[in-house]
């Protein structure tokens, strides 16, 4: 969630947003001078395993979602050092061949936060600050629009981009995205042009691409407005995300969704979100006794998915079965007494399995 309001008073926040808006207008989209780590981009070959007895092929495919809290100065101070730590770790993970195949980032507003994905060969960035939606959807209630408040950031305009990125070790062959409508937001979240994006990723040897959805939805308390107002914006954004999926998803290809859904401690938010997204939540699947999923997460209680903002889910198709085999945290330990972000990274390893008619050809190719 975007914690604009937790560290600064409202007048200072609004002043910071106006200063940042003027600065970015003069200097383009860059809000911070920084250089990404120097890395060598190597073409990744999938490790496909053959089961001749079953006539199947399978491979593991990992996705990490991470809200990196890459808010720029003067809205938030002290982020470049932490973001450089994360970026250095990602380079090291790649060098050790332990990095996720795909990472989806939220709140990656600055060059330092974008540099977290520097080791990856393929990058898709989400909606920019000036982008507008092309989806034909009803607008949010006009009474909601008239109640916008300048001092809550709702009448300043979009100061920041969506902060969304998808980085992949495998080729991205198509992308679909949209910002949410201009007024489909509440409170300080309106300063960013939040939205949703879908990357279509081709894995050599697999019979179909994998679709990856990334989003960051309106926060609740951190938005600085009432829970009812924040909920109305959240529901509208979920509907717009659903419209993007209805327009862009290929139902014959698997999908993985990941991001900061801002549904923690809210059954209303989570319920509306769950009705829109396809397939099954990773946490729900991994907690089933028969799943054989290695859940290395602190999931407790009857509904642990309500204890976090960061979610992943999946939907397979007859052509490719997909199921989580491991879920774990990353970047969860403090450095020099401080966390690198106000979120932990959340990585899920999925196993993709498909039928193969010509095993000899696939064995030769792999």
Residue 241 in contact with residue 214, Cβ under 8 Å?
A: no
- Which pLDDT score is estimated for 26? 39
Q: Could you tell me if 87 and 135 are in contact, meaning their C-beta atoms sit under 8 angstroms apart?
A: no
- Which one, of 248, 246, 242, 250, lies nearest residue 317 by Cα? 250
3 state DSSP class of 248: helix
Residue range(s) defining the domain that contains residue 117: 10-365
Is residue 3 domain-resident?
A: no
Residue 309 lies in a domain: yes
Rg of the chain in Å (alpha carbons): 20
Q: Is residue 67 part of a domain?
A: yes
CATH code of the domain in which 355 resides? 3.60.10.10
Does a structural domain hold residue 5?
A: no
- The dihedral built from the CA positions of residue 285, 288, 289 and 290, taken in this order, carries a sign that is negative
* pTM exceeding the 0.75 threshold for the entire prediction: yes
Sign, CA dihedral 90-94-98-104, equals positive
Instruction: Please give the pLDDT value at position 149.
Output: 97
2 domain-assigned: no
Order of strands, sheet of 195-201, starting from the edge strand that comes earlier in the sequence: 172-179, 195-201, 210-216, 255-260, 310-315, 280-281
Tokens matching residue 267? 């059954």
- Domain membership of residue 71 (yes or no) is yes
Question: Does some domain include residue 26?
Answer: yes
Q: Specify if 32 maps to a domain.
A: yes
Strand partners, 102: 63, 168
Q: Is 221 helix (H, G, I), strand (E, B) or coil?
A: helix
Q: Is the Cα torsion angle 275, 281, 284, 290 positive or negative in sign?
A: positive
- Within a 10 A sphere around the Cβ of 50, how many other Cβ atoms? 16
Cα–Cα distance, 109 to 31 (Å, whole number): 8
The pLDDT, as a whole number, for residue 8 is: 47
DSSP single-letter state for residue 305: G
Burial of 196 from C-beta contacts in 10 A (0-12 / 13-18 / 19+): buried
Q: CA 157 → CA 14, 18, 97, 152, 188, distances in Å?
A: 11, 10, 42, 11, 11
Structure confidence at residue 21 (pLDDT): 57
Return the pLDDT at 74: 79
What's the token pair of residue 232?
A: 């109305």
Per-10-residue mean pLDDT of the chain, 366 residues long, equals 50 57 46 44 83 95 98 86 96 96 98 97 97 95 97 96 98 98 97 98 96 97 95 98 98 98 97 96 96 95 95 97 98 92 97 84 54
Please state the domain count of the chain.
1
pLDDT of residue 42: 60
Tell me the three state secondary structure of residue 105.
strand
């Amino acid at each position: 969630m975007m914690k604009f309001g937790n560290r600064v008073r409202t007048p200072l926040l609004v002043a910071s947003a106006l200063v940042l808006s003027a600065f970015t207008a003069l200097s383009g989209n860059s809000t911070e001078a920084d250089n990404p780590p120097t890395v060598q981009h190597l073409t990744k070959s999938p490790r496909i395993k053959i089961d001749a007895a079953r006539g199947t092929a399978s491979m593991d495919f990992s996705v990490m979602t991470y809200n990196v809290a890459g808010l720029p100065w003067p809205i938030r101070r002290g982020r470049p050092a932490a973001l450089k730590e994360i970026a250095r770790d990602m380079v090291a993970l790649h060098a050790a061949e332990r990095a996720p195949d795909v990472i989806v980032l939220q709140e990656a507003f600055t060059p330092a936060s974008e540099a977290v994905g520097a080791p990856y060969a393929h990058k898709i960035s989400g909606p920019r600050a000036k982008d507008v939606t092309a989806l034909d959807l009803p607008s949010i209630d006009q009474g909601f629009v008239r109640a916008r408040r300048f001092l809550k950031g709702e009448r300043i305009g979009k100061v920041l981009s969506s902060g969304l990125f998808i980085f992949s070790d495998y080729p991205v062959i198509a992308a679909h995205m949209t910002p949410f409508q201009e007024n489909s937001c509440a409170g300080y979240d309106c300063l960013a042009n939040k939205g949703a994006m879908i990357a279509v990723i081709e894995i050599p040897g697999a019979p179909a691409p994998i679709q990856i959805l990334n989003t960051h939805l309106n926060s609740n308390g951190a938005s600085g407005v009432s829970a009812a107002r924040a909920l109305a914006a959240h529901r509208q954004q979920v509907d717009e995300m659903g419209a993007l999926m209805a327009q862009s998803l290929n139902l014959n290809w698997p999908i993985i969704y990941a991001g900061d859904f801002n549904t923690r401690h809210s059954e209303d938010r989570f319920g509306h979100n769950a009705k829109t997204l396809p397939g099954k939540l990773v946490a729900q699947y991994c907690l089933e006794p028969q799943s054989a999923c290695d859940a290395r997460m602190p999931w407790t209680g009857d509904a642990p998915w309500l204890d976090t903002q960061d979610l992943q889910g999946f939907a397979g198709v007859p052509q490719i079965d997909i199921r989580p085999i491991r879920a774990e945290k990353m970047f969860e330990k403090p450095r020099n007494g401080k966390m690198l972000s106000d979120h932990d990274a959340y990585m899920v390893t999925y196993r993709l399995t498909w039928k193969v008619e010509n095993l000899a050809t696939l064995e030769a190719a792999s």
